[in-house]
Amino acid sequence: MMRCLEFYSGIGGLHYSLVGARKDAVVVAAFDVNPLANAVYEYNHGLRPIPKDIGSLSARALDAYRADTWVLSPPCQPYTRQGHQRGSEDPRAESFIKLLEKLEGLDHKPKYLLVENVVGFEESATRSHLAETMRRNGYITQEFLVSPLELGIPYSRARYFCLAKLSPARFPDPSGDFRVATGPPLAGDAGPPTRAPLRDYLLPELDYASYDVSSQVWSGCLAGSGARRYLGAVDIVSPLSRRCCCFTKSYSRYLKGTGSLIAANAVPLEGGAGSRGFVDDRGLVHIHLSKVSPEDRENLEKTDDEILDRLVLRYFTPREVANLHSFPQSFGFPDQVTKKQRYSLLGNSLSVAVVTHLLEYLFDDGA
Ligand SMILES: C[S@@+](CC[C@H](N)C(=O)[O-])C[C@H]1O[C@@H](n2cnc3c(N)ncnc32)[C@H](O)[C@@H]1O
């Protein structure tokens, strides 16, 4: 049995990755201060996370778990482009830094560690501190920036990962030691697998009205004034598209930069109009005016308002977001968790497929 500790456990994306990568992996304890995330975690994994500030855990308490593996996804706000990028100075980075400091005093150091964070973390002072702490404690590290796109999943969610293993264990490809690489480890020369269309990740049937975008925009119930103004800046995809944008915790509350919308009846237009062109169910071509040149604009008859009316534009459902995050079909939410809360919890989570891939690489000691 491989004993694992899951820090900043949220709804347990790392838990699924652990048991996916190692049949004998058992999460002996998970830690998170968010009561709602903990309720969803318990509902799915049958284990109640410990609602303690991770920075306050003592070395003695950590040692008592005799864990072989630590997986950690600390808060990303200190490192996001939207945030103030205060890194280690941000109070939300404190618990992670305090936890790292405990490693030194442990009798039973974990043999394997995986840390997940946003792209940008690799340039932070916290990352330098992490690398230095690992080295001082006898770990070899390899770091990766990986998106599900590179595993054939039509979902763009690039994230930073640090894998660490206690020496003398070795990585299968030692040439990556103490380096940051783009793309998954051992990707091979064959290139990325063919990407599936989004259609494969969508629900066959759903209550369309609950996910309709246009009525929400018209009625002005979206947060932030001038939501209509943002439609030109939103990524709109079709079921045949082979890529969609990262869903954040604000999906369905704000339009811009929070995740793609799907034009359920549209097919992408080949050629000139690029990703901004669609043919709707009546065969009409629509293009976002904000994305075309002034000359082309004169040739177009449609406006963004008409596009909204014509296209069956909707949000991805929480289940569809979970599918793109490669959560198993068994995953669900307790009934009392609202739709907004579901998007928020999923937006904080991660790609199970990417982390499973990385953990398989981490656990391979090349023996
Ligand atoms: C990026 S999310 C991790 C999501 C998780 N990997 C998942 O699959 O859902 C960060 C989590 O850390 C928790 N958190 C933040 N600061 C914490 C602290 N000091 N102690 C314990 N949990 C904390 C938040 O409640 C949040 O659920």
Q: Tens-of-pLDDT digits for all 367 residues of the chain?
A: 999 999 999 999 999 999 999 999 999 999 999 999 999 999 999 999 999 999 999 999 999 999 999 999 999 876 765 555 565 666 677 999 999 999 998 999 999 999 999 999 999 999 999 999 999 999 999 999 999 999 999 999 999 999 999 999 999 999 999 889 998 997 666 677 888 989 999 998 888 888 988 666 655 444 443 444 556 567 878 788 888 999 999 998 888 789 998 887 665 544 444 445 555 554 444 545 445 455 544 544 445 555 555 567 889 999 999 999 999 999 999 999 999 999 999 999 999 999 999 999 999 997 6
Task: Count CB atoms within 10 A of the CB of residue 190.
Answer: 6
**What order of strands is seen across the sheet that includes strand 267-268?**
267-268, 277-279, 285-287
Q: Does residue 332 lie in a domain region?
A: no
Q: Which two tokens stand for residue 99?
A: 């936890």
CA of 216 to the centre of ligand 1 (A): 30
Are 169 and 218 members of one domain? no
What pLDDT is attached to residue 12? 98
Are 123 and 165 members of one domain? yes
Location of structure tokens 């660490």: 164
What pLDDT is attached to residue 221? 44
Q: Does residue 326 lie in a domain region?
A: no
Are 212 and 182 members of one domain? no
Q: Does residue 333 lie in a domain region?
A: no
Residue 263: beta bridge partners? 313
Are 29 and 67 members of one domain? yes
Give the residue, by CA position, lying nearest to ligand 1 atom 10: 75
What pLDDT is attached to residue 205? 86
CATH code for the domain in which residue 22 is found: 3.40.50.150
Are 229 and 149 members of one domain? no
Give the residue, by CA position, lying nearest to ligand 1 atom 25: 34
CA of 142 to the centre of ligand 1 (A): 23
Does ligand 1 have an atom closer than 6 angstroms to the CB of 141?
A: no
What pLDDT is attached to residue 232? 58
**Residue 135 near residue 304 (C-beta atoms within 8 A):** no
Does ligand 1 have an atom closer than 6 angstroms to the CB of 73?
A: yes
Q: Does residue 291 lie in a domain region?
A: yes
Domain that holds residue 254: 204-316
Task: Tell me how far apart the alpha carbons of residues 160 and 141 are, in angstroms, rounded to a whole number.
Answer: 13
Number of domains in the chain: 2
Task: Count CB atoms within 10 A of the CB of residue 156.
Answer: 15
How does DSSP assign 88-128, residue by residue?
A: GGSGGGHHHHHHHHHHTT-SS--SEEEEEEETTGGGSHHHH
Q: Does residue 30 lie in a domain region?
A: yes
Half-sphere exposure of 106 toward its Cβ, with a 13 Å CA cutoff?
Answer: 22
- E-strand stretches of the chain: 2-7, 25-31, 69-72, 112-118, 139-146, 159-166, 180-182, 236-237, 261-263, 267-268, 277-279, 285-287, 313-315
Which sequence positions are flagged as catalytic?
76
Does ligand 1 have an atom closer than 6 angstroms to the CB of 14?
A: yes
Are 60 and 101 members of one domain? yes
Q: Does residue 328 lie in a domain region?
A: no
Are 77 and 26 members of one domain? yes
Q: Does residue 336 lie in a domain region?
A: no
Half-sphere exposure of 248 toward its Cβ, with a 13 Å CA cutoff?
Answer: 13
Q: Give the C-alpha distances (Å, rounded to integers) separating 266 from 50, 155, 189, 238, 239.
A: 46, 19, 35, 6, 8
Are 55 and 32 members of one domain? yes
Q: Does residue 161 lie in a domain region?
A: yes
CATH code for the domain in which residue 232 is found: 3.90.120
CA of 357 to the centre of ligand 1 (A): 22
Are 218 and 280 members of one domain? yes
Q: Amino acid letter at 151?
A: L
Does ligand 1 have an atom closer than 6 angstroms to the CB of 32?
A: yes
Q: Which residues contact 140 (CB under 8 A, 6 or more apart)?
A: 134, 164, 165, 167, 169, 170, 171, 177, 178
Are 211 and 185 members of one domain? no
Are 104 and 66 members of one domain? yes
Give the residue, by CA position, lying nearest to ligand 1 atom 5: 10
**Residue 71 near residue 31 (C-beta atoms within 8 A):** no
Atom of ligand 1 nearest to the CA of 96: 19
Are 245 and 107 members of one domain? no
